[in-house]
Structure 1
Amino acid sequence: MTDDTGDRLQTSARGWLTLQLAVLGFAGLCGAIKSGGTGGSGAPRAVEAVAGVLVLLALGVACAATYLVARIAWPVHTPPTADGVRTGRRLHLGIGLTFLAVLLVAVAASTAWWPEERPSKAGALVEVSTASGTWCGTLRASAGGALGLEVADTRQPLDIPLGEVAALRPVGTCGA
């Protein structure tokens, strides 16, 4: 193999090494964010665990890829011209592992978009004020143009015309 081919491999490896260090930092950052989160993503615990393992795996793959390419970019013992075919294979393997690390981080990060379950507001209490009085209870379905309320004290359904509603606010308890 010529020195020109070895120099090209080394130059290419140095360019890829810059990208790999960015991938390595990104995988590490994702791992730190994943472990430092307070509430999680809303995904089931098993999915969160798999995502955490994928981030750690991506970090390991990125480290291995960086090692392979760094040995070509800055050889310690033998220059890249010594065995061009093997050096080229190592460079291709390092580049492939870099893409694998990016893919693993992307899959792990996808749990951030897991749909969150919203708590049911079926039993939430509201206070409705009109010119003729104030009622407290839970909202219910009603005819169009009216606010349906099941009054807390009597459990009686009440339909209040929307034009008469002066205020509507959530409350913790009724009659306080």
Structure 2
Amino acid sequence: MTDDADTRLQTSARGWLTLQLATLGFAGLCGALKSGGTGGSGAPRAVEAVAGVLVLLALGVACAATYLVARIAWPVHAPRTEDAVRAGRRLRLGIGLTFLAVLLVAVAASTAWWPQEATSQAGAGAGAGALVEVSTTAGTWCGTLRPSGGDVPGLEVTDGGQTVDIPLGEVTALRPVGTCGA
């Protein structure tokens, strides 16, 4: 290969190195966010552990990929003509490992969208923050909010276990309460 081909290979490697450093930063940020979370994702402990291992694995793969590409981008010795083919293979391997690292981080980050367990119904085991008092022009209801389709929030009322659907536009006040009816 010519010096021109070696220069193009180095230029390409330097461009990819920028992307790899961003990947390393992203993997590190995901690891920091994963370990710094206060409430957790709601995923089972085993899934959380696998996600943590995947973030660490992604970091290791990104480091290996960066090393491979950096050796081409800034060679210690002047490249020899017979090494150009090997350098091209190392560059492709480094690029492939970069994509693998991004994939591993994406899979690990997906645990953030693990569905939360539903809060228990009013009564046995309901925490103080689970109950709300909703006031409208038609009256006041106390109970736990439950999801419903559309723009009508559902409120499951604790007295008699009846369910009342209150349109969002009719709510004049909403406040958390410790107990209902007192």
Residue in structure 2 matched with residue 92 of structure 1 by the alignment: 92
How far has the Cα of 1:126 moved from its partner?
7.4
How far apart, CA to CA, are the structure 2 residues paired with 1:53 and 1:23? 17
Asked if residue 172 in structure 1 is aligned to residue 178 in structure 2, the reply is yes
Residue in structure 2 matched with residue 17 of structure 1 by the alignment: 17
1:69-108 to 2 correspondences below 5 Å: 69-79=69-79, 81-108=81-108
How far apart, CA to CA, are the structure 2 residues paired with 1:38 and 1:60? 26
Q: Percent identity?
A: 82
Q: Deviations over 1:16-64 (max 9, x none)?
A: 0000000011001111111111111010010000000000000000000
Amino acid at match of 1:61: V
How far has the Cα of 1:3 moved from its partner?
1.3
Please tell me whether the aligned partners of residues 16 and 69 of structure 2 are also in contact (alpha carbons under 8 angstroms): yes
How far apart, CA to CA, are the structure 1 residues paired with 2:3 and 2:60? 32
How far has the Cα of 1:122 moved from its partner?
2.8
Q: Could you list the runs of 5+ residues in structure 2 that have no partner in the other structure?
A: 145-155, 167-172
How far apart, CA to CA, are the structure 2 residues paired with 1:169 and 1:95? 54
Q: Deviations over 1:115-151 (max 9, x none)?
A: 101211331677799xxxx9x9978xxxxxxx97546
Residue in structure 1 matched with residue 43 of structure 2 by the alignment: 43
How far has the Cα of 1:100 moved from its partner?
0.2
Distance 1:175 1:20, change over 3 A: closer
How far apart, CA to CA, are the structure 1 residues paired with 2:174 and 2:96? 59
1:23-62 to 2 correspondences below 5 Å: 23-62=23-62
Amino acid at match of 2:104: L
How far apart, CA to CA, are the structure 1 residues paired with 2:134 and 2:24? 56
Amino acid at match of 2:178: G
How far apart, CA to CA, are the structure 2 residues paired with 1:5 and 1:169? 69
Residue in structure 2 matched with residue 154 of structure 1 by the alignment: none
What count of residue pairs does the alignment treat as equivalent? 155
